[in-house]
């Protein structure tokens, strides 16, 4: 009896020891990576003092950020245009953490091999001591111009190449100086205007009429030519709720193009309801609404309520960009880019390539299509409508150039409107799309935002075309 | 040449191969700060373990593996301790030397002192005395009041109490019939005598906030009771009592609740009470299967990396595979110890072997599981591996007893 029980005890002890080994294997394979990457793991930050963080350049190799070691051997990060890139490049601070590209490209900038053991072995044999550099798609001169254009406003400008998706400028105001965080941190945190937020990718705004581009796409795809005709009386009642045009204007019998040119709310409200929430939702999703947009820095998901709201009033309001719709400026730049690019939304790019300190290209970003938003035929038609919209008298017109776009004046809870303009410039060497939003500016998009878009196009043509 | 000799020799060789490789790394890492100390340490460790193994092989008969396994374990531990802090590394070698002495002494005591099986209440009394002394003059270090400071030396008497507990229970069961019918008035006190004594000791350990020791006591008691208790109902009763006692203790003592909540979600308290365990997990997770290599990790960020958390430090720099190796060495150590019981004719000797094997098993599992966050963490040492004199001496005393027991059949 004693022997039998002892055998059982030995068996139990052995099983427990073996289970420990099994658990360690499981831990290493399934849990270790996530745990090791926790920001509290001091092993991650130590690498930083051993390596000089890589530099960041604009597309023309203008130096934007660099690092050097001070007398005590600590790494000092220097930003050459600190306020201009506070949101895009972000900061790398011991206490306040990392943001922007400093966070997203931390491993590349430190030349940390993701294969940890192998990386350490390599460092042991040949310590490089210098991280990799980033070359951005941004043109520093355009970034500077964009930031200047926003002077006196809150808001954002996103300028990109609508064929390649390369972001040429991405500016936001208010901004801050990432080199004086220690002195200003509390102030920055408590500032009601939230200067720390990257408005271009994280700011969620009511789009107002600029959203009508998406509704127009849904109308083109889902309604016949005849169904697209509408008898406007200046107002329409949906579910007991009256929707009016701007200044109560009435346009009579109109088609989609006239509705876009005059930004007729009643048209988009009624036609939106006619198309229906589910078709609107399908189109909105193709435009990457309610979806994660892959980008070099985090992008907030734009919100379209078609999937969740069933009330007709909500659908009508969302059809002309009011109600619960919320978008990021980058989202709207991509919306207008995809129409200009004849239905293909380009994947946005911010980092063009990662290069080693010796200049060898380590990763080169490739251009790709993020989504096909509309069949080419419809896209071309919508594109023409938007060109006509600008030509009908928007302040974004450029003599001798083809510009298309849509204004927006979004009503907000604060009572102060956001002024929007999204536009494209059709130019063979320089296919551009831009989104301009002036936050709580209490002005009309066509008056304030459109001229800024025009200035950006003119500057880009002057600077980029040889 | 028999198979036995071959495996024995190859095991010895692998110990020295490990020492050679690991010590080579210890000597060359961080070349800028290289000192002759490292060479002295290497020669000392190899010399001391070589001579001890030679002596054991020449002088003692019986089970040959136990001492080699212990040598392997202490080699891994001491090298890691030296890498963390060279002074502690040298101190640990002194403790190992003292441990060897205790090993031979306890071997001799076990072999030549007669009637060890009759000293039931001497063992119990000594254990109580150690606890009371600790409670009276002890100091609280790292949350447990289980240290006695004598001049420059701090002693952890509970390490010895564990062995006393094994001897007590073993001798109790060997004289079971003498106590069985003990009655106080009409109450069958004999049934509850052992239970009462063991719970009294566990209660004293709880008072010291030494939860690890309580768990080891409980494991030893349950295992020996399972094998030897003729009144099987008592096992169930004991089990229920433990569950109930555990629940009551959890409700009563906040330090037990803290251990539980840091076990359930340490990430929530990463800056405070969850700091130790999360640092341990970072180390284990960062090392990977093969480890960073000795001197290339950051085990100094783990609190108590030399003692309670040495397993995490070893996993980081020598790899999880070395960690698994340590676990397997303990499996072997326990297996060989249990095996002694199968060959022994003497009841007391069998019971002691089973008790000590269970002690090694419980102690190592509780701390392995703890640093891996598999079970709530309790601060105890890994026998032979962790830094600490009391732990090393007690482990060698237990090993010396086992060595003697393994020879018993030849003596008989």
pLDDT on residue B124: 95
What is the Cα–Cα distance from A169 to A450, expressed in whole angstroms? 17
- Indicate the pTM of the whole model: 0.62
Report which of residues B296 and B105 the model is more confident about: B105
| pLDDT recorded at residue A122 | 46
Closest-CA residue of chain B to A22: B324
Asked if the model's pLDDT at residue B55 lies above 80, the reply is yes
Our CA-based measurement puts residue A149 at a distance from the nearest CA of chain B, in whole angstroms, of 45
First to last CA, chain B: 27
The answer for B114, left when phi > 0, alpha when psi is -120 to 50, beta otherwise, is beta
Q: Do A35 and B358 touch (CB under 8 A)?
A: no
Domains and CATH numbers, chain A: 142-354+366-464 (3.40.710.10)
Q: Which of B267, B290, B327 sits opposite A117 (nearest CB)?
A: B290
- Residue A81: closest CA among A103, A97, A66, A102: A66
Q: Can you give the pLDDT at residue A319?
A: 94
ipTM exceeds 0.90, yes or no: yes
Q: What is the pLDDT of residue B5?
A: 63
Residue B29, SS3 per DSSP: coil
Label residues B139-148 b or e (16+ Cβ within 10 Å = b).
eeeeebebbb
Q: CB of B327 within 8 Å of any CB in chain A?
A: yes
Render pLDDT for B158-213 as a digit per residue (tens, 0 to 9): 899 999 999 999 999 999 988 888 888 888 888 889 999 999 999 999 888 888 99
Helix or strand or coil: residue B308? coil
How far is CA A85 from its chain centroid? Answer: 15
Q: Is B270 exposed, middle or buried (0-12, 13-18, 19+ CB in 10 A)?
A: middle
Gap between the terminal Cα atoms of chain A: 96
Whose CA is closest to A437, among A124, A149, A60, A40?
A149
| Residues in B touching A115 (Cβ below 8 Å) | none
User: Does pLDDT of B270 surpass 70?
Assistant: yes
Q: Is B282 part of the contact surface with chain A (CB cutoff 8 Å)?
A: yes
Each residue's pLDDT tens digit, B57-84: 888 888 889 999 999 999 999 999 999 9
Task: Tell me if A2 and B350 make a contact (CB, 8 A cut-off).
Answer: yes
- Alpha carbon A6 to its chain's center: 67
Average pLDDT over residues B104-109: 94
User: Quick one: average pLDDT of B365-391?
Assistant: 92
Q: How far apart are CA B106 and CA B319, in angstroms?
A: 35
Model pLDDT, residue B9: 84
What is the full DSSP assignment across B133-161? HHHHH-EEETTEEEEEEETTEEE-THHHH
Render the burial of B320-359: b for 16+ CB within 10 Å, e for the rest.
bbbbbbbbebbbbbbbbbbbbbebbeebbbbbbbbbbbbb
The predicted pLDDT at position B8 comes to: 83
Given an 8 Å threshold on Cβ–Cβ distance, is A116 in contact with B285?
A: no
Inform me whether the C-beta atom of residue B29 falls under 8 Å from chain A C-beta atoms. no
Mutant choice from B222, B331, B345 vs A, greatest count of A C-beta within 10 A: B331
Per cent of chain B over pLDDT 70 is 96
The tens place of each residue's pLDDT in chain A, 466 residues long, gives: 888 999 999 999 999 999 999 999 999 888 888 888 777 777 766 556 777 889 999 999 999 999 988 777 677 899 999 999 999 999 988 778 789 999 899 888 887 655 444 444 444 444 457 889 999 999 999 999 999 999 999 999 999 999 999 999 999 999 999 999 989 988 998 899 999 999 999 999 999 999 999 999 999 999 999 999 999 998 999 988 899 998 888 999 999 999 999 999 999 999 999 999 999 999 999 999 999 999 999 999 999 999 888 889 999 999 999 999 999 999 999 999 999 999 999 999 999 999 988 888 988 989 999 999 999 999 999 999 999 999 998 888 998 999 999 999 999 988 899 999 999 999 988 999 999 999 999 999 999 999 999 999 999 999 987 6
């Amino acid at each position: 009896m004693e022997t039998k029980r002892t055998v059982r005890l030995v068996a139990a002890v052995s099983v427990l020891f073996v289970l420990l080994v099994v658990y360690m294997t499981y831990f290493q394979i399934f849990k270790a990576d996530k745990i090791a990457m926790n920001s509290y793991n001091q092993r991650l930050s130590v690498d930083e003092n051993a390596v000089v963080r890589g530099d960041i350049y604009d597309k023309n190799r203008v130096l934007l950020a660099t690092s050097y070691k001070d007398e005590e051997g600590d790494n000092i990060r220097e930003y050459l245009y600190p306020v201009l890139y506070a949101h895009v490049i972000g900061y790398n601070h011991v206490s306040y953490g990392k943001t922007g590209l400093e966070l997203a490209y931390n491993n590349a900038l430190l030349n940390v091999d993701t294969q940890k053991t192998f990386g350490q072995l390599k460092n042991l044999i040949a310590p490089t001591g210098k991280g990799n550099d980033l070359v951005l798609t941004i043109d520093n001169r355009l970034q500077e111009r964009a930031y200047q254009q926003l002077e006196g406003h809150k808001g954002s400008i996103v300028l990109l190449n609508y064929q390649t998706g390369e972001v040429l400028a991405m500016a936001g105001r208010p901004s801050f100086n990432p080199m004086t965080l220690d002195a200003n941190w509390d102030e920055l945190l408590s500032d009601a205007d939230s200067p720390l937020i990257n408005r271009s990718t994280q700011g969620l705004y009511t789009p107002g009429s600029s959203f009508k581009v998406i509704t127009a796409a849904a109308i083109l795809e889902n309604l016949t030519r005849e169904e697209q005709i509408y008898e406007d009386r200046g107002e329409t009642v949906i579910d007991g709720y009256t929707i009016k045009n701007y200044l109560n204007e009435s346009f009579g019998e109109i088609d989609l193009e006239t509705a876009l040119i005059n930004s007729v709310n009643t048209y988009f409200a009624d036609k939106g309801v006619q198309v229906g929430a589910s078709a609107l939702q399908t189109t909105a999703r193709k435009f990457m609404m309610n979806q994660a947009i892959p980008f070099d820095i985090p992008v907030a998901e734009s919100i379209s309520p078609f999937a969740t709201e069933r009330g007709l009033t909500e659908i009508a309001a969302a059809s002309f960009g009011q109600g619960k719709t919320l978008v990021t400026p980058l989202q709207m730049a991509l919306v207008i880019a995809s129409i200009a690019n004849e239905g293909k939304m380009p994947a946005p790019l911010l980092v063009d390539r990662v290069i080693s300190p010796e200049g060898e290209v380590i990763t080169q970003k490739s251009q790709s299509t993020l989504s096909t938003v509309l069949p080419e035929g419809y896209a071309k038609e919508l594109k023409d409508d938007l060109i006509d919209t600008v030509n009908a008298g928007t302040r974004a017109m450029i003599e001798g150039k083809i510009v298309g776009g849509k204004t927006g004046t979004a009503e907000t809870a604060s009572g102060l409107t956001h002024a929007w303009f999204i536009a494209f410039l059709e130019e063979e060497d320089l296919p551009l799309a831009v989104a301009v939003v002036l936050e709580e500016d209490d002005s009309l998009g066509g008056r304030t935002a459109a001229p800024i878009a025009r200035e950006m196009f003119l500057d880009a043509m002057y600077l980029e075309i040889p | 040449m028999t198979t036995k000799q071959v495996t024995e020799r190859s095991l010895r060789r692998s110990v020295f191969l490990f020492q050679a490789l690991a010590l080579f790394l210890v000597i060359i890492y961080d070349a800028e700060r290289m000192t002759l100390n490292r060479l002295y340490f290497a020669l000392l460790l190899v010399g001391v373990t070589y001579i001890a193994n030679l002596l054991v092989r020449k002088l003692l008969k019986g089970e040959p593996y136990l001492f080699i396994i212990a040598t392997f374990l202490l080699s891994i531990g001491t090298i890691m301790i030296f890498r963390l802090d060279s002074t502690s590394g040298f101190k640990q070698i002194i403790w190992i030397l003292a441990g060897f002495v205790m090993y031979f002494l306890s071997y001799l005591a076990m072999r030549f002192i007669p009637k060890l099986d009759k000293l039931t209440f001497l063992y119990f009394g000594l254990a109580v005395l150690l606890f009371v002394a600790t409670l009276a003059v002890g100091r609280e270090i790292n949350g447990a009041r289980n240290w006695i400071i004598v001049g420059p030396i701090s002693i952890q008497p509970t390490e010895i109490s564990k062995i006393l507990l094994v001897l007590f229970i073993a001798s109790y069961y060997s004289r079971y019939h003498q106590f069985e019918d003990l009655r106080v008035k009409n109450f069958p006190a004999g049934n509850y005598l052992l239970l009462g004594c063991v719970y009294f000791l566990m209660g004293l350990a709880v008072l010291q906030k030494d939860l690890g020791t309580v768990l080891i006591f409980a494991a030893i008691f349950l295992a020996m009771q399972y094998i030897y208790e003729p009144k099987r109902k008592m096992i169930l009763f004991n089990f229920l009592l433990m569950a109930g006692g555990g629940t009551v203790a959890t409700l009563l003592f906040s330090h037990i609740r803290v251990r539980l909540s840091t076990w359930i979600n340490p990430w929530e308290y990463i800056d405070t009470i969850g700091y130790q365990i999360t640092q341990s997990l970072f180390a284990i997770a960062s090392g990977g299967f093969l480890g960073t290599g000795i001197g290339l990790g950051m085990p100094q960020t783990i609190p108590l990396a030399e003692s309670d958390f040495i397993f995490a430090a070893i996993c980081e720099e020598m790899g999880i595979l070395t960690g698994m190796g340590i676990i397997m060495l303990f499996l072997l150590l326990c297996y060989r110890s249990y095996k002694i019981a199968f060959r022994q004719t003497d009841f007391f000797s069998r019971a002691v072997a089973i008790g000590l094997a269970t002690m090694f098993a419980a102690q190592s599992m509780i701390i392995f599981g703890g640093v891996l966050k598999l079970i709530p963490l309790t601060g105890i040492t890994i026998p032979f591996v962790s830094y600490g004199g009391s732990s090393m001496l007690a482990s060698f005393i237990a090993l010396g007893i086992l060595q003697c027991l393994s020879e018993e059949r030849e003596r008989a």
